[in-house]
Amino acid sequence: MTSLRLTAAEIARAIQGRVEGDAAVIITGLAPIDQARPGDLTFVAQPRYLSYLDKTPAAAVLVDANYSASLANAVLIRVANPYFAFLQIAKNFFHPAPSFIGMHPTAIIGGNVRLGENLMIGPHVVIAPDCEIGDNVCIGALSYLGRGVKLGHRVVLFPQVHVAHGVRLGNDVIIQSGAVIGSDGFGYVKHEGAYHKIPHLGAVVLEDGVEIGANCTIDRGTFGETRIRRGTKLDNLVHLAHNVEVGEHTVIAAQTGVSGSTKIGNRVTIAGNAGLVGHIEIGDDVTIGARAGVSKSIPAGLTVWGYLAREHTLARREEAAQRRLPELLKRVRALEKALAQIAPETLAKINDSEA
């Protein structure tokens, strides 16, 4: 956290909010409402946190514009979306600045590299020949850029990011530590009992605003592209195989694996530890539940979960029925006992048909 000091009025102007109370109160930090201390800015985005409002020591609280009550001990800043406003303040005012601007003396820069302005290139970074780096880019320590990599403006690579040859990143891309972008895909041809590697000559393209979590692996295309479109976010430990396409503003949670040549639409939500087979299509606005196994294409707008993944209302009925199996078995035994007393011949026929 920085030592920045802002007034409630300055914060309200930045997020188009309306101050209720002392607009000159000083904000020196940020915190969730259950951990806030004097001088902090906090927020309430869910009703269950409203009970903290009358006892928080925070200097100011972001609340919904339609929130009806007022506070005696804290300033209110009314906004359309308190959580989003809080994130904007954190990003624009309190986000840690780079430790330095410039190039560390241990960095290695290849020939014919085009460097933009206002760069931070950390210790032991290696940039291979023919790369293009935009303005306001941060490249963390021990990161590697292969030959011909292109980075747009305001790209942030955290330490130990590997961006392989020919990869192209748009503007405002963020890649967390340990990610590997552009490795060869898992592609082999079996011939005469042995596996022969398929050359991966394609590329990876990350469009504007894409964020990649720590230790993700995104394989390059075999001969075409692996592409992640604008605004999509990947959690940690996500794997995308060769020739995968992901649409705009999609979110993929941790430990998800997507097999080769699968196409994922726009605004898709994929929960953690899901697995998708290759060569299928996931439509726009689909939601895939945690640990789902997706073996076939899913049309737009559907929610699926389970293994193998199926339409969620059917899956819920099946799981509810499974939970009732012990009870149902007891009822079946009771019915069999009653049937044996009143119609033993019928029960015998049923048992014979099952044998």
* H or E, element range at 276: strand 275-276
Q: Tell me the C-alpha distance between 221 and 276, whole Å.
A: 17
Compute how many other C-beta atoms are within 10 angstroms of the C-beta atom of residue 23: 17
The three-class DSSP label of residue 58 is coil
- Residues paired with 304 in a beta bridge: 288, 311
CA 347 centroid distance within chain: 57
- Residues paired with 252 in a beta bridge: 234, 270
| Residue 162 falls in the annotated catalytic set | no
Spatial strand order of the sheet with 75-79 comes to 18-20, 75-79, 60-64, 40-43, 29-30
Q: Tell me the C-alpha distance between 14 and 41, whole Å.
A: 14
- The sign of the CA dihedral 202, 207, 209, 210 is negative
Closest CA to 67 of 22, 54, 34, 30: 54
For residue 4, say if its preceding peptide bond is cis, omega within 30 degrees of 0: no
* Beta strand spans in 65-202 (E): 75-79, 102-103, 108-109, 114-115, 120-121, 126-127, 132-133, 138-139, 144-145, 150-151, 156-157, 162-163, 168-169, 174-175, 180-183, 188-191, 194-197
Burial class (CB within 10 angstroms; exposed 0-12, middle 13-18, buried 19+) of 88: middle
Q: CB within 8 A of 235, min separation 6: which ones?
A: 213, 251, 252, 253, 254, 256, 272
Q: Tell me the C-alpha distance between 51 and 251, whole Å.
A: 32
- Residues paired with 138 in a beta bridge: 120, 156
Per annotation, catalytic residue among 242, 249, 279, 312? 242
Q: Which residues are catalytic?
A: 242
